[in-house]
Structure 1
């Protein structure tokens, strides 16, 4: 009897406990609400469901600032886009490591300090803002470091290989000359009466109403006051205020009736797609044109940014083409 108990205690009991632990291990996950799993394989790395859910939570916090409902889950397309971004980030990180690119802690700190200065934010305010977005300062710092690393590889692989020539700048200037020549802008108000789609006598009645308003304006009545009372446009409450318009963006019919008018003058009754209108010139603004030398740096920056976007897309497409990416979500 003593030998049997000893054998049970020393041999069978540990085995039974081990079996019990294995059984518990198989039972508990099935009762858990979320079981972590792999949602994507990116070369030798993986992306876990828990990582994606954490990223989704941060994404939702950002969307909330734009009015996205707090309790509304991400759509399938939004989750797909989020996972795609995580895959791209993982590929970029792998390429950064492969090329041995590093960022010193001092550079990360300087970047954060510069961002705080630009946004006029104290460290305490930054930490509070991050907390509202569900992010710690350490996570934010890691994010900044990752962005700096990605920027470094873009500089090496893309930007350093781009040259914008004088011919490129001159060709762009000639193709977009209209936006660099002197411009005229009008600050306009209007009175609108919509055109009926039925009998011509009804259209004539509306036209006569507009002509009567035009006579009252000529007699010195205030344009804004008449617009508030009679205009059928959404701008009526603001006295018909339309804001600023570039002359070149106006329709020919409106441009023609405005031609030669100065501040305080108004047009005759004009028929437009919206209806019969009278336009009042609140202000005329003339801007001087710019010659190629004045805008050379601006055009170079614009062209450079466009080429960077194109080249980076091509480089990244090739990077992803060479990679082993498997989506399991």
Structure 2
């Protein structure tokens, strides 16, 4: 009869450790599997898992219904592929974000939130967010924006005639204060698609419209089916004025009632389905105009900051004693354009002048003269001659329409460019690992 085998406790620990290590190694090996080849780079399974975890948290936080797991993973992988292609293009074209540029961008974001960089970092960490991850995401965003700007930005121009044509032909512009909250689904079609492929996409879009009109949740349908960059946001395009809506369906949107869903709209990218979620109006375009004049002393090799400031203080003293501001401006100001008009900049609106000048001007009473203030142009003595509220609607319309047309063109061109980039690149997905 065999004697029972007694194993020392430390040996048991070693064996268990070896088994756990083997198990962990197998899991780690699985997560390091390649899930997609993108040109001469790859996307690993662990990278996909990390993105999936992040997106799932966002969906849960927004209280949206979770799509089927396989659909969600495919959508996220597709988004990662398109981002990877843009990063590869950035490398090829020499786009690089230095640490100084990244820190400066982060500081700007902190400032816009009325915080110092240290306070902003602490705020992120108090919410359980990693500052390192924030910087990585910011770097990626800057790189992608620079790639798109380089590839697309130079092609976008808006002429005055386009603005005039829009104002002449869009009878809805009288309702430009109206904003539309839009949802969007794209059923994509390749540029070189066959008739059969186009018909298949059209049939899918038609069927989806039927389901949506019968009550299927739009957000869920967008996450599961849409093939544009807003898919994982439930197809939400946010609030837009009519001039911000892509040209392709601007006319259709202006005729929709809240809750309406369009028929599929064909474009070079595929078939678009749009839903008008909500609609609202906005207030009038009243702004404060200021009539202002100034005397400028520029600095150079002979005139430093102290000298420029002292010269303006002397001029201010002369004005207080009765000398005429306009006469002194004509004789002393280095801004030759305004000097001819006695220093007058005429009526100016918000944003027309550099910030230090505007900030000082806004605090002055009528006829009050400022202390010398410095801007990038030199040192100024400022006097406000009048203020009035004006309806700037006409000029606002022109400025708004020009910027909106530009944004619209960029959006449309970006969509086409991304689809073309994806279609023309080598991508191999290991479907059995999804």
Pick the TM interval, shorter chain. Answer: 0.5 to 0.7
Tell me the residue number matched to 1:313.
Answer: 415
Matches of residues 124-135 of structure 1 in structure 2 within 5 Å? 126-127=120-121, 130-131=124-125, 135=129
Residues 132 and 59 (structure 1 numbering): CA distance in 2 closer, same or farther, change over 3 Å? farther
Residues 169 and 55 (structure 1 numbering): CA distance in 2 closer, same or farther, change over 3 Å? same
Larger relative contact order, structure 1 or 2 (CA cutoff 8 Å, min sep 6): 1
Tell me the residue number matched to 1:273.
Answer: none
Cα deviation code 1:219-255 (max 9, x no counterpart): xxxxxxxxxxxxxxxxxxxxxxxxxxxxx99x9xxxx
Q: Say whether the 8 Å CA contact 1:180–1:291 is kept in structure 2.
A: no
Matches of residues 159-170 of structure 1 in structure 2 within 5 Å? 159-170=153-164
How far apart are the structure 2 equivalents of 1:183 and 1:38? 50
Residues 109 and 65 (structure 1 numbering): CA distance in 2 closer, same or farther, change over 3 Å? same
How far apart are the structure 2 equivalents of 1:182 and 1:39? 47
Residues 174 and 291 (structure 1 numbering): CA distance in 2 closer, same or farther, change over 3 Å? farther
How far apart are the structure 2 equivalents of 1:287 and 1:91? 43
Residues 34 and 129 (structure 1 numbering): CA distance in 2 closer, same or farther, change over 3 Å? farther
How far apart are the structure 1 equivalents of 2:128 and 2:100? 25
Tell me the residue number matched to 2:401.
Answer: 299
How far apart are the structure 2 equivalents of 1:161 and 1:135? 38
Q: Higher helix proportion, which one?
A: 1
How far apart are the structure 2 equivalents of 1:178 and 1:83? 40
Residues 183 and 77 (structure 1 numbering): CA distance in 2 closer, same or farther, change over 3 Å? closer
Tell me the residue number matched to 1:55.
Answer: 51
Matches of residues 237-256 of structure 1 in structure 2 within 5 Å? none
How far 1:141 moved relative to its partner? 0.8
Unaligned 5+ segments in structure 1 are 1-22, 185-247, 252-284
Q: 1:45 aligns with which of 37, 41, 45?
A: 41
Cα deviation code 1:75-128 (max 9, x no counterpart): 333222211110011000000001011122111111111111222345466445
Instruction: Give SS of 2:30's match.
Output: coil
Unaligned 5+ segments in structure 2 are 1-17, 179-253, 258-282, 287-390
Matches of residues 1-329 of structure 1 in structure 2 within 5 Å? 28=23, 32=27, 35-36=30-31, 37-68=33-64, 75-121=69-115, 123=117, 126-127=120-121, 130-131=124-125, 135-180=129-174, 292-328=394-430, 329=434
Instruction: Using structure 1 for the length normalisation, give the TM-score.
Output: 0.54
Q: Say whether the 8 Å CA contact 2:90–2:143 is kept in structure 1.
A: yes
How far apart are the structure 1 equivalents of 2:44 and 2:106? 29
Instruction: Give SS of 1:35's match.
Output: helix
How far apart are the structure 1 equivalents of 2:175 and 2:423? 45
Q: How many residues align?
A: 208
How far apart are the structure 1 equivalents of 2:115 and 2:74? 34
Q: Higher strand proportion, which one?
A: 2
Cα deviation code 1:179-202 (max 9, x no counterpart): 337989xxxxxxxxxxxxxxxxxx
How far apart are the structure 1 equivalents of 2:177 and 2:125? 47
How far 1:129 moved relative to its partner? 5.5
How far apart are the structure 1 equivalents of 2:73 and 2:429? 12
Q: CA RMSD in A?
A: 3.8
Instruction: Using structure 2 for the length normalisation, give the TM-score.
Output: 0.42
Residues 74 and 33 (structure 1 numbering): CA distance in 2 closer, same or farther, change over 3 Å? farther
Residues 132 and 57 (structure 1 numbering): CA distance in 2 closer, same or farther, change over 3 Å? farther
Tell me the residue number matched to 2:354.
Answer: none
How far apart are the structure 2 equivalents of 1:128 and 1:102? 27
